[in-house]
Amino acid sequence: MNEIIGYPDPGLDLSDGFKPHTSHWGVFSARHSEAGLEVRPYAGDPDPNGIIGNFPGALRHQARIAQPAIRRGWLERGPGPDDRRGRDEFVSVSWEKALDLLAGELSRIRDTRGPGAVFGGSYGWSSAGRFHHAQSQVHRFLNIAMGGYVRSVNTYSSGASSVLLPQILTGYEDITKRNVTWEQIAAESEIVLAFGGMALKNSMVAGGSISKHVERGAMAAARRRGCEFILVSPLRDDLPAEAGAEWMTLVPGTDTGNPRTPSGPPRSVVSTRTRSGNSPVGLPDGAR
């Protein structure tokens, strides 16, 4: 399968000054030169992510926040209601001043309101890897400094899926972490039913980085073999053109809208087929 969805690492040549690195968007190498930062994708990636090319321009981009900034109303009046909130300007301060003010405010909330008044809701990823995971670091800090915090459940990423799938099929993590592989789809699957699609943009990022973007090649190989792709989504390009998918449009405005074919009434698929026969997907009694 290597020639279809990836190929071995050909080795790293460090003689030209490029150093290997990784990110949520993929593995790459980079070097500084007279022209600035240069990047190139990992040679073993069959479908490199173009987002890597944004690194040089992002280093000094005008949209980057160069230092801490605090809303002027809070800086002048402290905590409490302020009709300027939402339209007030921000004032740049030093890291030392920002940390002192933050520590004082967290201490005030902890001592007067308790940890139940603090929502530990950072959703940023920061750098690749679990240690640099922003939400984990915030939660660890609040547990130590505040004695606890209010947290959220589920994620923006899975939306309604993590709540609905256990009622319909099985647990969300059973599907996302213990599913079939792309190699198996390319070699064995006869029908792939995709709710919401398998857009390539979704596989461009991964929490611990990704070295080989194999999805496009796997779908193309499956399609060449005769696999049928069915897309249930409001967006036609939620599956790449290589899949040659039948598109079942959705009624807009809901995560759980009714699927419709472009020319007919609602339809449903309750099982997937492989070359070894039918494979029931475990729908509850009456769901068929």
Mean pLDDT of 106-124: 88
DSSP for 141-207, written as a single string: HHHHHHS--B---S-TTTTTHHHHHHHHTS-HHHHHHSS--HHHHHHTBSEEEEES---GGGGG--T
For the ranges 71-80, 246-255, 259-268, the one whose mean pLDDT is highest: 71-80
Mean pLDDT of 232-247: 92
Q: What is the pLDDT of residue 285?
A: 34
Write the CB contacts of 220 (distance below 8 Å, at least 6 apart in sequence): 242, 243
**Nearest to 50, CA basis, from 213, 208, 160:** 213
Q: What is the pLDDT of residue 152?
A: 85
Write the CB contacts of 148 (distance below 8 Å, at least 6 apart in sequence): 115, 116, 142
| Average pLDDT, rounded, for the chain | 80
106 pLDDT above the threshold of 60: yes
Q: Which of 179-183, 249-253, 270-274 has the lowest mean pLDDT?
A: 270-274
Q: 95-112 and 134-146 are packed helices; what angle lies between their axes, rounded to 10 degrees?
A: 50
CB contact at 8 A, 252 and 242: no
CB contact at 8 A, 186 and 218: yes
Mean pLDDT of 185-200: 90
Q: How far apart are CA 223 and CA 253, in angstroms?
A: 31
Domains observed in the chain: 2-58 (no CATH), 66-112 (no CATH), 113-152 (no CATH), 161-280 (3.40.228)
- Higher local confidence (pLDDT), 152 or 130: 152
166-183: per-residue pLDDT in tens? 999 888 888 888 888 899
Beta-sheet strand order (sheet of 246-250): 191-195, 228-232, 246-250, 259-260
- Angle at 265 (CA atoms; ends 264, 267), nearest 5 degrees: 110
9-22: per-residue pLDDT in tens? 555 566 788 888 88
Mean pLDDT of 98-108: 95
pTM of the model: 0.67
Report residue 122 CA to chain centroid gap: 15
